[in-house]
Amino acid sequence: MGDVVGINAGSMSVKGKYSSFEEARAVARSLNIKTRKIWRERCKTEGVPKGVPVHPDGIYKTQGWAGWKNWLGTEAALPEKESGYEPKELH
């Protein structure tokens, strides 16, 4: 798995096998994988770090899962209109 740092075994919480959603997501993002398809391919060929599930969408469904782009850290920032942010007019 190269230079990827695993998860501290003391932080395992999901059924005693996987780490917390936030910690597993941080590890997933550190892998710099851009799509779900590439995630699946890498899981088949190289596996995943200890404590990170191959199918995070099922494991964390009710524990913070917000989609693959969020998991991989590839979601773009929302445009100002969609984010609710409106810059104040300068006088």
Rg of the chain over Cα atoms, rounded to whole angstroms, equals 16
Enter the pTM of the model: 0.68
- Alpha carbons 67 and 88: distance in angstroms, whole number: 32
Q: What is the pLDDT of residue 76?
A: 77
| pLDDT above 80: residue 83 | no
Q: What is the pLDDT of residue 27?
A: 94
Q: DSSP letter at 47?
A: -
